[in-house]
Structure 1
Amino acid sequence: MVQSQVIRIALTAVTSVFVYYALKFLRFQCRKLTSPLRHIPGPKATHWIMGNPEVLSKDTQSIQRKWIAKFGSTFTLFGALNTRHLFTTDTRALSYVLQHGENYQKPKSRREGIVHGQGLLRVRGEQHKNQRRIMNPAFGPLQLRELTPIIFDKVNLMRDLWFREVPAGGKPVTLNALSWLSKAALDIIGLAGFHYRFNSLNPEGKPNELNAAFSAVFAASLGSFGSVNTFVRGMFPILDAVFPDNRRLKVMEARKTMAHVGNQLLAESKSQFSSENDKGGEKVKARDLLSLLVKANMSQDGGRHLTDDELSGQIPTFLVAGHETTSTATTWALFSLTQHPAVQSKLRDECLTLSTDTPTMDELNALPYLEAVVREALRVHAPVPLTYRSVTKDDVIPLGTPFVDVNGVRHESIKVARGDTVAIPIMSTNHSATIWGEDAEAFDPERWLEGNTPEGAHGIPGVWGNQMTFMGGPHACIGFRFSLLEMKALLFSLLRSFTFELAVPSEDIVPKQTMVRRPTVASQPEKGAQLPVVVRRYEA
């Protein structure tokens, strides 16, 4: 009797799961057959399950250029399970999508990634608006001025470590710039973000528990990016519960550690402000971003306060948004400088006009050529070249440039349905020949000087720099000023002290798309992401 009951329960469970996924599959197929995107032309699918996976390949830019040349600024490509995704570089359409974030939200699968908790990168709707409202002041110019000395402490530590590696007298040494910059960025965001010492740059130090946990989560996420296994598990979450793989188990364990440390850091941050009354009203000066958030949250008179889960959830958000993207962007900037010695020399001369190696934020921002180089590096080498938005309700997207559908009908707008996906081609927009001219692919900081920016670039809906690198609208990168400050500080310190050449032929450097677009050496795939540069001390 007992055995038969167990069998019935098991059969009921299996049947329920089967029916659930069968209905889900039918809804999915119905959406494919009725989506208004089916009438928009585009390239054919090249993979039976992943559609057009070449959009994530190292050749994605040349492929996208061919698509744009053939189909125009608006077309469709195929995503997973061969569903059509809208792809457009039309700046009016992009502006509309980014400004209506409540209708065009980051897909759940792309909000998960390596970020966990209730941080800004994962929440939506009113919760996102409330977090953004409380967090905005912490990322303003006033607070960043306070963080500048923290950034330069780590930047100049890395410079001093390089002095140990690079002998005097013009003798060269080959270093992996990406590895060093990644360590520096991690140390910077640890201290500036939540007053935590990763000690990544400490040659004698051992990885602490948060460092080890973050490294484990990040490595596992990089290894699984874009794989069929990851896609299938995203479609069927029950597989992780029933058949968790080693990667998943490692991630779960590392996230527990990150959550534990995050709660400790939050408690310490809160205690310093709650103890103000015990000090006779003496004000505690908040410097790191987490402390600024805690203090701002405690002083909220109206509106909803952030919960402890939301506050601690910002720690993995800071790690992801403030670590890998900035270090990768700075690495690509160094690559461009190795390919343009005259630009490298001109930038070094400008940086040497300051008599200090710890300038203020205002002094850094007053260097026009440094600003131009950073702008051009971020335009040409956007760390995140492509992202997506999921349509949450039927809508009509206006266009600046009409398109002709497969039936020969001209359209000045695009109908989208709930469940459709819109691709946001960050790099293709940054490289648009229509906007930037025939030299759009070239690295040329001069285009940013003396009002040289083309008129068409002013229509790009980015939050900064007439480009899409930091996105735009209410979901634009909240920490873009911090990232720019860190990138400028790194280039300022390194260019004043060293000269750089590429250690391999330039054609051997190819990008690999994971969560960010990192440089690799094609002839050394076993070494993973890297940028080997020949470094010499600069001796005037």
Structure 2
Amino acid sequence: MGITQSTTNISDLDWLSFLTTSIDDPNARLILAFASAIALGSIVSAVRSRSNTTTRLRGPPSESLIWGVAKKVPLTEHAAAQYTAWEAEYGPGAYRIPFTLGKEKIVLFDARAIAHFFAMDNTVYIKTAQSRSVLRNLAGEGILWAEGDVHRRQRKVLSPAFTNAAIRSLNPIFYDCAYKCKDTWDTLTKNGEALIEVQDWMNNISIDAIGLAGFSHDFNTLGGDRAGAVDAFDATGANAPASFTNMLPLLLLVFPWLDKLPSPNKKRMNQFNDALNDLSERVWKKLKDEGAGDVSEKSIVGRLLRAESSDTSLQLSKHEVIDEIKVMIIAGYITTSTSLTWALIELAKNPDAQARLRTEITQFSDEDPSYEDLVGDKLPYLDAVTHETLRLHPSVPELTRVAAVDDIIPLSAPVTDASGRTVDRISIAKGTLVGCPITAVNRSPAFWGADALEFRPGRWIEGVEKGSAKDLTGHRHLLTFASGPRTCIGKGFAIAEFKTVLAVLVRNFTFDIEGGKSHKVTITRGSSLPGRKIFGENGKFLALKVSRVA
């Protein structure tokens, strides 16, 4: 796949020194120094508190008193290869890894265990305090943050806005955004081939689409404007050392309050929050001034405001609407733009697949494919390219939850535990970390065959249900949108936008990349915001060679 991730090796002795250089406030440095004094106590406490009710699985030995092996699995696609290697050595099905400050994490690769894990997400398995704190800071108390009954209520309120009928009415917005991009690219390529940093343009398409379709707000980034929230979003993590962005989430698992300390990253986070709050307030005011009746067919939020219900508990308050606007901006902006960028990269590296897709799309010679054409069976190769991209490049590389109560996880096949016993289920004690490495499972040869790491859309034409992948839960046997009660509510929205934009761009342009399949791609992410930047070789923003279709 040519994916690399640079890391800096920081020993147990100098981890505190490294972190304190990233903190601005002298008082905050003192607080962090105090944290180091209690770190050892945390390790001892974690080891002593491990309940005998948790099955002792096999796994790699700890490599660090502070980190365990956690530094080997940063929250990027790079970690997938490491998870897969451990699965081959300590699996099959499940294993444990020593984690930060004495904690351990159970890693699931077994289809039945994964199905159980996702089915119990939101009840037995819940977000860690660290992840909830970050999500609350980002998007308030919206559907991404909510748990239990609060989450179920919010999902019930939001669901009508994401039906097929609702998305069908929004599809013209996706086409409009795609054609605005096309018109500009026509100008850029009028004298032949042009080098275009495609991720910037996919970001523009996604933010304009979510603004118009989500809440009738035109960011007009495709027209040259820039939204303050987008600038702040893109800036997050830009100047933070790669090793710091990898380690901070690990420390936050044990010390959630570290996220409140003054730092360059916290400053960028505050700038993002200020811009997002300002935008959300303006959107709310616009919707209320126009009236719900005027915007009901224009946006998701308009539909929600318009919805009639005899149950007043299902009505949205101003606070809830504003928080859901934040969720839509964050989730809609990052997920679709990153997926579209990856699709263009993969097609540039695989010209035969690109040509086959273009041939299929051009059967619609007089008009664009309708919504039914896009999501139905008239464009099977577009569907295959879509899901192959989502398989290889999920927006969320892994999920980690903490057990809220004791649990028993069933397995498809028995495993051998650390003492050599054969067990067909895993006992999980309350407080245990349990994770599903989504990218690794999506790329696992055990489920997807020997060519699992290859971009091969044809596997979807042949039928993935013929292999072991059919045992996986989730949309089309993928874990990309999660599964169970927390399945991504915007899945249909994202797929419709993805297919619409890809159809327009591939129909009108050809894409090439210097070096072809050998071109290495580097992924970076912010330490708190889920932003991702895709770089080409030599640390430059990735640019593709774009030409008009003759």
Aligned partner of residue 385 in structure 2, secondary structure: helix
Query: Which position in structure 2 is the counterpart of 1:331?
Result: 341
| 1:520 pairs with 2:543 | no
The verdict on how the C-alpha distance between 1:483 and 1:300 changes in structure 2, with shifts beyond 3 A counting, is: farther
Residue pair 1:37, 1:84 contacting (<8 A) in 2 also: no
1:220 Cα deviation from its structure 2 partner: 8.1
The verdict on how the C-alpha distance between 1:497 and 1:178 changes in structure 2, with shifts beyond 3 A counting, is: same
The verdict on how the C-alpha distance between 1:238 and 1:75 changes in structure 2, with shifts beyond 3 A counting, is: closer
Mapped to 1, the partners of 2:65 and 2:358 lie a distance apart of 51
Residue of 367, 370, 390 corresponding to 2:382? 370
Residue of 423, 428, 440 corresponding to 1:411? 423
Query: Which position in structure 1 is the counterpart of 2:23?
Result: none
The verdict on how the C-alpha distance between 1:295 and 1:21 changes in structure 2, with shifts beyond 3 A counting, is: farther
Residue pair 2:77, 2:397 contacting (<8 A) in 1 also: no
Aligned partner of residue 263 in structure 1, secondary structure: helix
1:215 Cα deviation from its structure 2 partner: 3.9
Residue pair 1:144, 1:482 contacting (<8 A) in 2 also: yes
| 1:135 pairs with 2:158 | yes
Residue of 372, 378, 382 corresponding to 2:394? 382
| 1:178 pairs with 2:184 | no
Query: Which position in structure 1 is the counterpart of 2:170?
Result: 147
| 1:354 pairs with 2:364 | yes
| 1:83 pairs with 2:94 | no
RMSD of aligned alpha carbons: 2.9
The verdict on how the C-alpha distance between 1:228 and 1:323 changes in structure 2, with shifts beyond 3 A counting, is: same
Which amino acid letter does the alignment assign opposite residue 206 of structure 2? A
1:516 Cα deviation from its structure 2 partner: 6.4
| 1:485 pairs with 2:496 | yes
Query: Which position in structure 2 is the counterpart of 1:430?
Result: 442
The verdict on how the C-alpha distance between 1:253 and 1:383 changes in structure 2, with shifts beyond 3 A counting, is: closer
- Segments of 5+ residues of structure 2 without an aligned counterpart are 1-30
Residue pair 2:42, 2:102 contacting (<8 A) in 1 also: no
Mapped to 2, the partners of 1:355 and 1:312 lie a distance apart of 42
Query: Which position in structure 1 is the counterpart of 2:407?
Result: 395
| 1:191 pairs with 2:191 | no
Mapped to 2, the partners of 1:22 and 1:495 lie a distance apart of 53
Query: Which position in structure 1 is the counterpart of 2:351?
Result: 341
Query: Which position in structure 2 is the counterpart of 1:279?
Result: none
The verdict on how the C-alpha distance between 1:66 and 1:374 changes in structure 2, with shifts beyond 3 A counting, is: same
Residue pair 2:524, 2:532 contacting (<8 A) in 1 also: yes
Aligned partner of residue 221 in structure 2, secondary structure: coil
Greater shift after overlay, 490-499 or 33-42?
33-42
Identity %: 29
Mapped to 2, the partners of 1:85 and 1:478 lie a distance apart of 27
Greater shift after overlay, 74-83 or 394-403?
74-83
Give the TM-score normalised by the residue count of structure 2.
Answer: 0.84
Post-superposition CA distance 1:109-151 (Å, at most 9, x none): 2234363211110111111000001111101110011111111
Post-superposition CA distance 1:384-421 (Å, at most 9, x none): 22121111111111111211111111111111111111
Aligned partner of residue 465 in structure 1, secondary structure: helix
- Segments of 5+ residues of structure 1 without an aligned counterpart are 1-13, 277-282
Aligned partner of residue 51 in structure 1, secondary structure: coil
Aligned partner of residue 176 in structure 2, secondary structure: helix
| 1:50 pairs with 2:67 | yes
1:336 Cα deviation from its structure 2 partner: 1.6
Q: Mapping of 1:165-314 within 5 angstroms?
A: 165-168=188-191, 171-203=192-224, 205=225, 207-216=226-235, 226-229=245-248, 231-232=250-251, 235-236=254-255, 243-273=261-291, 285-296=296-307, 299-301=309-311, 303-314=313-324
1:492 Cα deviation from its structure 2 partner: 0.4
The verdict on how the C-alpha distance between 1:172 and 1:200 changes in structure 2, with shifts beyond 3 A counting, is: same
Which amino acid letter does the alignment assign opposite residue 120 of structure 1? I
Residue pair 2:81, 2:440 contacting (<8 A) in 1 also: no
1:484 Cα deviation from its structure 2 partner: 0.6
Aligned partner of residue 145 in structure 2, secondary structure: coil
Residue pair 2:236, 2:269 contacting (<8 A) in 1 also: yes
Residue of 18, 33, 40 corresponding to 2:57? 40
| 1:494 pairs with 2:543 | no
| 1:471 pairs with 2:486 | no
Aligned partner of residue 449 in structure 1, secondary structure: helix
Count of matched residue positions in the alignment of Structure 1 and Structure 2: 505
Mapped to 2, the partners of 1:229 and 1:435 lie a distance apart of 32
Aligned partner of residue 413 in structure 2, secondary structure: strand
Post-superposition CA distance 1:56-80 (Å, at most 9, x none): 2664232222211111221011322
The verdict on how the C-alpha distance between 1:524 and 1:220 changes in structure 2, with shifts beyond 3 A counting, is: closer
| Higher radius of gyration, 1 or 2 | 1
Mapped to 2, the partners of 1:94 and 1:397 lie a distance apart of 9
Residue pair 2:360, 2:379 contacting (<8 A) in 1 also: yes
Query: Which position in structure 1 is the counterpart of 2:89?
Result: 70
Mapped to 2, the partners of 1:458 and 1:68 lie a distance apart of 19
Query: Which position in structure 1 is the counterpart of 2:10?
Result: none
Which amino acid letter does the alignment assign opposite residue 152 of structure 1? Y
Mapped to 1, the partners of 2:97 and 2:532 lie a distance apart of 20
The verdict on how the C-alpha distance between 1:401 and 1:324 changes in structure 2, with shifts beyond 3 A counting, is: same
Mapped to 2, the partners of 1:246 and 1:61 lie a distance apart of 29
Query: Which position in structure 2 is the counterpart of 1:322?
Result: 332
